[in-house]
Amino acid sequence: MAENKSNDSIGKTLLVVLVLCLVCSIVVAGSAVGLKSRQQEQRALDKQRNILAVAGLMKQGMSADEVADIFKAHISPRLVDLASGELLDKDPGKFNQAQALKDPQQSLQLEASQDPAGIKRRSNIAEIYLVRDEKQQIQEVVLPIYGNGLWSVMYAFVALETDGRTVKGITYYDHGETPGLGGEIENPNWRQQFVR
């Protein structure tokens, strides 16, 4: 009579578990690496959409190509020295504000009296966006802003008229606030109260 060998041994079970874990980790790691450039493209597109929205140039249902074309035609990203207010002749595409905030050489520790947003540090340089009309005349300036909310740091763009004092619009693009009261920052009626 033939011997009946069991497939339920501990060694075989561990081998199946290890092979399954290895295959799954390769699939997950490959997906993360393979999709990284696509994620970066989507982040850049989302940023462009938010800048166009706060500048009043975004229309419902615009394709990614339309967003890129309008952004290129009307928006000029620039870097500004926050101490002097001077525009810099550096490539804004190479500036990373998150890294600048971590570097004491590229950022400034804020005193409590200078820090109503509770951010503790600000970079010495900031990226701004000049909004131009068809004649390439500056119509607005879009500034990135951020500060502490109740549960998270909130990031937004605010559009100012050329006088530098009149708010034309504000849009929040990243926050971790709760959907209840915290979610009101996405309500157009609530945002409108900051616009003159």
- Over residues 64-95, the pLDDT tens digits come to 999 999 999 999 999 999 989 899 999 998 89
Q: Determine the structural domain holding residue 148 and report its residue range.
A: 76-192
| C-alpha to C-alpha distance for 13 and 44, rounded to whole angstroms | 46
Mean pLDDT over the full length of the chain: 87
DSSP notation for the chain: ------S--HHHHHHHHHHHHHHHHHHHHHHHHHHHHHHHHHHHHHHHHHHHHHTT---TT--HHHHHHHHHHHEEEEEEETTT-PEE-S-GGG--HHHHHH-TTTEEEPPGGG-TT---EEESEEEEEEEE-TT--EEEEEEEEEEE-SSSEEEEEEEEETTSS-EEEEEEEE----TTTGGGGG-HHHHHTT--
| C-alpha to C-alpha distance for 17 and 11, rounded to whole angstroms | 10
181 inside domain: yes
Give 2's pLDDT tier (boundaries 50, 70, 90).
low
Which two tokens mark 97? 């504000």
34 inside domain: no
188 inside domain: yes
Please say whether the dihedral angle defined by the alpha carbons of residues 86, 168, 143 and 140, taken in this order, is positive or negative: negative
110 inside domain: yes
157 inside domain: yes
Give 5's pLDDT tier (boundaries 50, 70, 90).
low
Which two tokens mark 83? 């101490």
93 inside domain: yes
| C-alpha to C-alpha distance for 188 and 196, rounded to whole angstroms | 14
177 inside domain: yes
Q: What is the pTM of this model?
A: 0.77
111 inside domain: yes
- Over residues 22-69, the pLDDT tens digits come to 999 999 998 888 888 888 899 889 999 999 999 999 888 899 999 999
Q: How many domains does the chain have?
A: 1
